[in-house]
Amino acid sequence: MYRQVQPANVEQHWALVAPWIAQAIGGSDSWKDIDEIKKLCIDGSAHIFIGYDLQNEIDVVLVTETWMFDGRKTLVLRWLAGKNMNQWFQDYDVLEAWAAGLGFQDVHIWGRPGFVKMCKPLGFRHEFTVISKPIMRGLQ
């Protein structure tokens, strides 16, 4: 079962989801810090989804963002962490139906290389890869 955390309820759920989001960020802390993600979720431009197992324990946490690409409303899956990732990918159609109902025209996944293989059966194709390096500031 999956539930979306509404913006007004982010503070109430934050202590439960923050460790999962931190795990999803991993070594990619140059992309966003966790406090910025929280702000995006509170203002509604990012969305938190929580998946639960049969014992009603958190099994997966996903944070998505709303972006416009080439004039198309796009749901970007940014941070995903969980115990049973295969189940999440099997249940992906639930998220896609939610997005379609809100007028999203595309779904992008920004993630680790392993997602390419897992997402191909869902109809995704690998279009580009982003690599990054922080600029060292303050060097003398």
pLDDT single digits (tens) 81-120: 999 888 888 888 999 999 999 999 999 988 878 888 888 8
Tell me if 96 is assigned to some domain. Answer: yes
DSSP H stretches of helix in the chain: 10-25, 34-43, 85-90, 92-101, 114-119
Domain count, the chain: 1
d(CA 64, CA 113) in angstroms, rounded, equals 18
CATH of the domain at 34: 3.40.630.30
Domain contains 46? yes
Residue 69 inside a domain? The answer is: yes
Find the domain containing 116 and state its range: 2-122
pTM for the model: 0.84
pLDDT at 4 over 90: yes
- Convert the pLDDT of each residue in 15-60 to its tens digit: 999 999 999 887 655 456 889 999 999 999 999 999 999 999 999 9
User: Is residue 59 domain-resident?
Assistant: yes
On whether residue 138 sits in a domain, the answer given is no
The pLDDT value given to residue 48: 97
Asked whether residue 78 is assigned to any structural domain, the reply reads: yes
